[in-house]
Structure 1
Amino acid sequence: MAKKKTTKSKTETLDFSKYVRWFWMVFLAGILAVVMLFLFASWGFLGEMPDHTKLENPETNLATEIISSDNKTLGKFYFNDNRTPVGFEDLPQNIVDALIATEDIRYYDHSGIDARGTLRAFSKFGSGGGASTISQQLAKQLFTKQVSSNKIERLFQKFREWIIAIRLERQYTKEEIIAQYFNIYDFGNNGDGIRSASRIYFNKEPKDLNLKESAMLVGMFKNSSLYNPIPSKNPVGVKNRRNVVLAQMKKYEYISEEIKDSLQKTELDLDFTPENHREGIATYFREYLRGFMKEWAKEETNRKPDGSKYDLYTDGLKIYTTIDSRMQQYAEDAIAQHMPRLQAEFDIQNTPERNKTTPFLELSQAEVKKLLNDGMKRGERWRILKAQGKSDKEIRASFDKPTEMTVFKWKDGKASEVDTVMKPIDSMRYYKSFLRPGMMSMDPLTGHVKAWVGGMNYKHFQYDMVKQGTRQVGSTFKPFVYATAIDQLQFSPCDSFPRTPITIEANKFGNPEAWTTKNSDGNYSGKQTLKDALASSTNTVTARLINEIGPQPVVEMAKKLGVTADILPVPAIALGTADISVYEMVAAYSTFANKGVYNKPVMVTRIEDKNGTVLYQFAPESKDVLSEEVAYVTVNLMEGVTQAGSGRRLRHKGVDKYNHVYREIMTGYPYELKNPIAGKTGTTQNQSDGWFMGMVPNLVTGVWVGAEDRAVHFKSITYGQGASMALPIWGLYMKACYEDETLEVSDGQFEKPSDLKIDINCEARDEGDLGSDEDPEDSMDFDF
C-alpha cells in the first residue's frame, strides 16, 4: 500500500513541474518577444525611426519673425505653422510646474519611460489613464503619426515612442525636452508652440504668463481642439480643465490650497489677439517686407550653404527692422481717431440727395459708368471669373447680382465689419467713397523708418499708399522750388516779391503755351517776404521764383532728393502737379532736416537664420545734396508755416487765434505743440488730395489723405485742404510721441550752421495779410 502512495506523489510532482516549465517558457518567450519588439522597432522594422541627425535637428517648420527696433514682434510669415521656438529660460517656472504636475510627476526621475506608470497602465488595461511621459509625448509629436484605432498598430507605435523617448533623453537635457515639447505643440488658432499661443490668447510673451494663464495652456495639452478657449468653442470646458491643472499643482504641493481655490473661481481673462497676415500691427509694412524678402531670397549671394533658396515661410528667419512698435501704434491710433471723423463730414457733404453721381463729384453718369467699368477689370473678382472661362458679358452680369458679403464700416468712431447683401457693382461704389490715408515717419539722421501706415484697414484696403501709391503733392512741392532758388541765387527768407499775377510766355522753358497763375484768395496787393509767401502758400510768388531759376533745376533738385517719378520740366510743377509717393516725400524732406544730406530710407537692419547667423547687414546709402546753410534756411522758411501759416493750428486747441470755431472734426484735437516745427501743407486741384509734411530735428513725418479716385473729394476747401485732412493725423501722432518720454523725440531748435551768411532775421509779418483761416491759398490754382 505504501508503494502505491509514493508512486502517486511522484506523478503529481512530475505534473506540477511541467506547469512550472511551461510558465518559465512563456515568461522567457514574452521577455524575448518584448526584447525583439524593441530591437525590431530600433532597427526600423515597425516603422521609420529617426537617425542621430534627425534627433539632433528635428524637422519642424518655423515661421519667419519680424522684429521691431524696440525688440517687439510685429508679425510673422508662415503657411501652416506659426511657430517661433523659445528656450527653457524663457518659460516661467509656473508653466513648467503645471506641466510636470499634470502630465509627468516623475519626469526628473526616469530616463524616458516611467516604469511604474507603464505597469499601472498594463495592469488596468489603460483604464487608469495613459503612461506616456513628456519625452514620449514629444517623440509622438516629432517623429510618429497618430494611427487608427487598430490596437496592434498602436502597440507598435508605442514601442517606437519608447525607443525615441529614450534616445531623446540621451540627446537632450530635461530642460531642453520640456522646451521642445512646449514649442512643438499646436494650441489651435494658429498658436503653434507656446510663444504663439501666449501671444494669441493673452497678448504677452511666455515669460510674462501668470499662474492661471499657464494652467489654461497646459490644460490644452490634453486636447487643444476640445479645450479651445475661444468663446464660440468651449469656454466652460476650458475653465474646468484649467481647474484640474490647478488641482494637480495643489496635489503635488506646487501651490497652496488657498491659491488653488482663489484661482479656480476666476474667469479665463483672455486677451485674444489673432496672428495672421491681414491683422495686427504694421500690416502694410509687413506686406512691403514680404516683397523685399522675396527679392532678397532671389539673389545668388543670399543662399543656404547647400545652394538652395531660403523659404520665407518655413525657415525661421529673423528680420530686424527699423520700425518702432510704439511709434507705429501711435501712428495707427492717430489715423483711427481722425479718419472716422473726417469720413463722417465727407458723407454729410456727399449724400445721394445732393449729388446723383455720389461719391463722384463733377462727373457725368457716362463718366461714372466708365470709371466703374474700368474698376471691374482691375479687380480680383474679374480675374477669378476670367480664369474660370467666363465671358466678359457673363462677368459684367455677375456684378449686378446681389451677393452676401462682409464690408468695412466706421461704426461709433471705430473700424468694424458688417455682413450684408449687396450687388458687387454697388460695393465698388461704396468702397470708392472712402477717404484713405498714407503715412510714414523717419529719422532723418539715420534714414531709419519708424512708422509706416499704408491705409486704415489692410483686410479691406490693400493698396499701400506709402510706397505703391503716388498722388499730386500740391504745395508740399514748393519747398523744392524755394530750396533751388536759395541754392542758386542765395535768396534770403527776408527777400520780398510782389503778389501780383505773373504770366510766363509760351516757349519759355519749353512750355508750349503761356502759363498764368493766380492766388486762390484773390489777393494780389503788396509784397511778401519768402517766409511769409511760403507760410501763406502764395502761388504767384512761387511762380516768380521758378521764372527766375527755370523748372529744369527744380526737377534736378527733386531727383537729388530721391524723387524717382517723371517730372516734366514745365513751370506748373512749381504748384505741385507731380505725382510722388509719401515714401519719397518723407525722404526728400528729411534731407532738409539732416543738414542737406540725403539718406535713403532704411527698413531692414539685418536678417538672421534660425541659429542666429547674420545673413544680411544693411549698408547706409547717403549723399550730399545741399549745403548745410541752404538746408537750414529752407527749414527756417518752413517753420513759418507752423508759426503763422496753414500749420498754425498745431499751436492751438481747436479754436485758433482768429477765433474761428471748427466743427467736431477740428475741436477734438488739442495739440498745443510749443516746440519748433517745420512743415508744409498741400492741397491739390478740387481738394482731391490733402498733405502735411512735418519735421522736428530728429523725426520727419508725411501724411496724405484722399480717395482712390480723384473725382471723389470734398466740395469745399474748408475740410478739403491739407490742414484739415492730413495735419490732424500728424498732430495726434506727434502729441502721443511726445507724451512717451522713452522715445526721446526732439523738442528743441533745429541746429543753426556756425557760418550762416544768409539773413533770416526778418521783421514781423503783417498778420492782416494771412488770408482766410481756411487757407485756400494752399491749393493748386493754375491756368494753362
Structure 2
Amino acid sequence: MAKTVRIFWRIFFIGIAAFVLLLILINFGVFGKMPSLAQLENPAITLASEVYGDDGTPLGKYYKERGNRSNVSYKDISKHVIDALIATEDERFYDHSGIDAKSLARAIVYMGREGGASTITQQLALNMFNERSKNKLVRVVQKLKEWVIAVKLERNFTKQEIIALYLNTVPFGENTYGIRNASRTFFQKEPDRLTLDEAAVLVGMLKGNTVYNPRKNVKAAFDRRNTVLSQMVKNGYLPDAEFNKIKVKPIQLNFLKLDENNGIAPYFLEVVRDELKTWARDHTNSDGEKWDIYEDGLKVYTSINPRMQLYAEEAVAKHMPVLQRVLSSQASLRTDAVWKGHDNILQAAMKNSDRWQKLKDEGMSDADIKKTFSVKTKMKVFAWNPMREKDTLMTPYDSIKYHREMLQTAFMVMDPLTGQVKAWVGGIDFKNFKYDHVNLRTKRQVGSAIKPFLYALAMEEYGFTPETQCEATQQYFPGSGYVPAKNTGRTGTRTMANALAWSVNEVAAYLIKQTTPQRFAEFLKQINIPTKVEPYPSISLGSCDLSLFEMLWGYSMFPTGGFSTKPVYITRIEDKNGNVIARFDTERKEVISQATAYTMSRMMQ
C-alpha cells in the first residue's frame, strides 16, 4: 500500500514538473514563436481606414478580409456592454490573473459540458496571436500558449485595457470586427450609446456570430440576448424587475453595413480610395514603410456634407425615374430601333461581362457562350424602387440592352470660394453602375455649357460688353466649313447678354471667329481646365469632351471675382492615434478680372 502511494506521488510530481517544463518551453518559443513584450504592448492589429464627412459622420471605410475594425477606448464603451460581457464570458474576470482556476477545474470535471474555462484574457490572446487549429494535439499546445500569453497580458495591461483590447478585436459576423463597428453596423450608433438590450444582443453574438446574428436568425438572437440578461441578473448587474421588462421586448435593429455598395456617397468613396493610394505611394510612416490604406487605420476627413449629399441623392432618385419613363416611351427604344447599326456596342459589352468571363474560365467556346446569352434566365436587374433592383426573367443579352438604356446623371456641389466638394453623385446606382460620371477622367461632350468661357474671353481680352451687338448668322471657317453646321436661316444681330440667355449658336460661332479657336483653346488651359482642347471652331458649341469636375473648376472663377479654385475633397489625414500626417489646402489662381467675373455672373442669372 505504501509503495503504491509512493508511486502515485512520484507520478504526480513528475507530471507537475513535466507540465511546468512544458509551459517554460512554450514560453521560450520551442513550440512556435511567442509574442515579445514589445508585441504585447503594441499588438499589430490591422485597422480599417475610415472616411468622414465635414461634420464627422462616417462615410465609409477601406479594409481587407478580417480588417474591418476600428479601435475605441474603454471610456467610450457603454457600461452595459462591459457588464454583459463579464457576466456572460468571465464572471470572475476581476479576481483572476488570466487563468480562472475554478472554471478550469469545472471544465475538467464535467468535460466542458458545464461551460468552457477560457477567460476574456485567454480569448484575447487567441484573437490577437493565434489561429484556432482543428488538430486536437495542436489545439492543446495552442491552449497552453494562450495561458502563457494571458498571464503576460495581465502583467502588462490593466483590466480596463484588456476589456478594451478584447472588444476591439473580437468578431461580430458580417465581416465586422470590434465593438465600434458592430454597434455602428447593427444599431447605427457609437458604442457608448448602446442601450442595455442592444448591448446584450451584441455580447450574445460572441458565442456564435452566425447562429446568433439578429439580422439572419431573429429567434436565436432573441433567446441568446435573454440568456445574457439572465446572466447579468445572476451576477448582480441587473435587477429582476428590469430583466422581466426587457426580456419581452423584440430586437430592434438599425442595420447598415458601410461597404462599397452601401452608405453615403459610394462613388465619392472610390475617388477618395484612388487618391489615397496615390498619396500612400509617395509617403511613409515613422518606420519608413509606405502607408497601407487597408490596414493602418488612417482617418480621412473630407469636405462632403452628409446632409447636402443626401439631398443630392434624393434629387437624383426623385427626378431620374420621371426622365427615364419619358425616354423609355420613345418608339425607338420600344422597337429596339435605337440599336440598329450599333450591335458592336452590345457585343463588346457582352464579352466584357462577368458572365462571359466566368463561362470562358470554365472552358466554354465563344459560340457556346454566345448561345447562353439568348436563353431566358432568372436574374436581378436595376429598377427604380427602394431596393434599386427587381427579379425578372430575361435573356442576358436583353439585360445588357436594358441597362444600357438607363439614363445616367452626374451631380457635384462645390463651394467656389474654398473649392471644397460638398456633394458627389456619380451615377444612379453604384452597385449596378460603377462608372463615375463626375470623375475627372470621365469626359463627355459639354455642349453649350462651354459658352460662358468663350463669352468671358471675349469680354476680358476683346472689348466686348453685354450690350455689344453680335452677328447671329452662320459663320464660315476656311478648312473647317460652316459653324454651326446646320443653317437655321437666322439673320441679324443679338446683344451678347441676349445671345447667352438664349444660347444662340450663331453668336458663339461669331465670337470664336473674333477671338480665334487657338486663343480660346489657350484660354481654357489658362483657367485651369486640365484636358487639352484642340483648337477647332466647333469647340465654341461644346464639341470637346470635358468632365463635370473640370467644368465646376472652370465655373468657379465667376462667383469668386475671377479666381479659379481647384476642387478639393480631402481636407486632412490622421494616423490611427489622431496625429495629423497630411493636410490639403485650397489652391486658387486669378484668371480673369473681377469686372469680367461680375459681369458674367450677372449675365448668367
Whether TM exceeds 0.5 here: the answer is yes
* Aligned equivalent of 2:431: 459
The 1:161–1:559 alpha-carbon spacing in structure 2 relative to 1, beyond 3 Å, is same
The 1:616–1:387 alpha-carbon spacing in structure 2 relative to 1, beyond 3 Å, is farther
Q: How far apart in 2 are the matches of 1:320 and 1:347?
A: 41
* Aligned equivalent of 1:137: 123
1:57 partner letter:
N
- Quote how far apart the aligned CAs of 1:18 are: 5.1
What is the number of residues matched between the two proteins?
603
- Quote how far apart the aligned CAs of 1:100 are: 1.3
Deviates more, 1:24-33 or 1:330-339: 24-33
- Quote how far apart the aligned CAs of 1:420 are: 3.2
- Quote how far apart the aligned CAs of 1:489 are: 3.3
The 1:253–1:519 alpha-carbon spacing in structure 2 relative to 1, beyond 3 Å, is farther
Corresponding residue to 1:473 among 432, 446, 465 = 446
Q: Does 1:502 align with 2:473?
A: yes
The 1:374–1:134 alpha-carbon spacing in structure 2 relative to 1, beyond 3 Å, is closer
The 1:281–1:516 alpha-carbon spacing in structure 2 relative to 1, beyond 3 Å, is closer
| Conservation of the 8 A alpha-carbon contact between 1:102 and 1:248 | yes
| Conservation of the 8 A alpha-carbon contact between 1:502 and 1:516 | no
Corresponding residue to 1:560 among 522, 526, 529 = 526
- Quote how far apart the aligned CAs of 1:334 are: 1.5
* Aligned equivalent of 1:88: 74
1:632-671 equivalences in 2 (<5 Å):
632-639=598-605
Corresponding residue to 1:349 among 281, 305, 330 = 330
1:443-473 per-position Cα deviation (integer Å, ceiling 9, x unaligned): 1112111211111111111111011321122
* Aligned equivalent of 2:345: 371
* Aligned equivalent of 1:269: 252
Q: Does 1:294 align with 2:273?
A: no
Q: How far apart in 2 are the matches of 1:369 and 1:31?
A: 80
2:447 partner letter:
G
1:515 partner letter:
V
Q: Does 1:225 align with 2:199?
A: no
- Quote how far apart the aligned CAs of 1:296 are: 2.5
The 1:20–1:333 alpha-carbon spacing in structure 2 relative to 1, beyond 3 Å, is same
Q: Does 1:548 align with 2:548?
A: no
Corresponding residue to 1:514 among 458, 482, 491 = 482
Q: How far apart in 2 are the matches of 1:388 and 1:326?
A: 47
Corresponding residue to 2:500 among 534, 543, 562 = 534
The 1:279–1:257 alpha-carbon spacing in structure 2 relative to 1, beyond 3 Å, is same
* Aligned equivalent of 1:628: 594
Q: How far apart in 2 are the matches of 1:304 and 1:106?
A: 41
Corresponding residue to 1:202 among 187, 206, 221 = 187
* Aligned equivalent of 1:598: 564
| Conservation of the 8 A alpha-carbon contact between 1:502 and 1:517 | no
| Conservation of the 8 A alpha-carbon contact between 2:475 and 2:506 | no
- Quote how far apart the aligned CAs of 1:35 are: 2.6
Q: Does 1:157 align with 2:157?
A: no
Q: Under a length normalisation based on structure 2, what TM-score does the superposition of the two structures give?
A: 0.92
Secondary structure (helix, strand or coil) at the match of 2:557 reads: helix
* Aligned equivalent of 1:79: 64
1:168 partner letter:
L
Q: How far apart in 1 are the matches of 2:387 and 2:501?
A: 35
- Quote how far apart the aligned CAs of 1:397 are: 4.1
Q: How far apart in 2 are the matches of 1:136 and 1:524?
A: 88
| Conservation of the 8 A alpha-carbon contact between 1:247 and 1:260 | yes
- Quote how far apart the aligned CAs of 1:505 are: 2.8
Q: Does 1:482 align with 2:455?
A: yes
Q: How far apart in 2 are the matches of 1:488 and 1:154?
A: 81
Q: Under a length normalisation based on structure 1, what TM-score does the superposition of the two structures give?
A: 0.72
- Quote how far apart the aligned CAs of 1:381 are: 4.9
Corresponding residue to 2:576 among 610, 618, 628 = 610
The 1:593–1:380 alpha-carbon spacing in structure 2 relative to 1, beyond 3 Å, is farther
* Aligned equivalent of 2:261: 278
The 1:256–1:533 alpha-carbon spacing in structure 2 relative to 1, beyond 3 Å, is farther
Q: How far apart in 1 are the matches of 2:54 and 2:310?
A: 13
Q: How far apart in 2 are the matches of 1:20 and 1:390?
A: 76
* Aligned equivalent of 1:259: 242
- Quote how far apart the aligned CAs of 1:415 are: 4.8
Q: How far apart in 1 are the matches of 2:352 and 2:140?
A: 58
Q: Does 1:241 align with 2:215?
A: no
2:427 partner letter:
G
2:422 partner letter:
K
| Conservation of the 8 A alpha-carbon contact between 2:480 and 2:537 | no
1:465 partner letter:
H
- Quote how far apart the aligned CAs of 1:20 are: 5.6
Q: What 5-or-longer segments of structure 1 have no aligned partner?
A: 1-14, 640-784
Secondary structure (helix, strand or coil) at the match of 1:607 reads: strand
Q: Does 1:436 align with 2:411?
A: no
Q: How far apart in 1 are the matches of 2:458 and 2:211?
A: 71
1:681-720 per-position Cα deviation (integer Å, ceiling 9, x unaligned): xxxxxxxxxxxxxxxxxxxxxxxxxxxxxxxxxxxxxxxx
Secondary structure (helix, strand or coil) at the match of 1:109 reads: coil
2:65 partner letter:
N
Q: How far apart in 2 are the matches of 1:309 and 1:422?
A: 48
- Quote how far apart the aligned CAs of 1:77 are: 1.4
1:383-411 per-position Cα deviation (integer Å, ceiling 9, x unaligned): 56666776654554443344443211123
The 1:61–1:634 alpha-carbon spacing in structure 2 relative to 1, beyond 3 Å, is same
| Conservation of the 8 A alpha-carbon contact between 2:201 and 2:225 | yes
| Conservation of the 8 A alpha-carbon contact between 1:501 and 1:518 | no
- Quote how far apart the aligned CAs of 1:265 are: 1.0
- Quote how far apart the aligned CAs of 1:36 are: 2.7
- Quote how far apart the aligned CAs of 1:149 are: 6.9
| Conservation of the 8 A alpha-carbon contact between 2:383 and 2:389 | yes
The 1:398–1:113 alpha-carbon spacing in structure 2 relative to 1, beyond 3 Å, is same
| Conservation of the 8 A alpha-carbon contact between 1:501 and 1:516 | no
The 1:148–1:545 alpha-carbon spacing in structure 2 relative to 1, beyond 3 Å, is closer
Q: How far apart in 2 are the matches of 1:159 and 1:109?
A: 20
| Conservation of the 8 A alpha-carbon contact between 1:517 and 1:539 | no
Deviates more, 1:112-121 or 1:88-97: 112-121
| Conservation of the 8 A alpha-carbon contact between 2:267 and 2:430 | yes
* Aligned equivalent of 1:32: 17
* Aligned equivalent of 1:100: 86
The 1:592–1:385 alpha-carbon spacing in structure 2 relative to 1, beyond 3 Å, is farther
* Aligned equivalent of 1:672: none
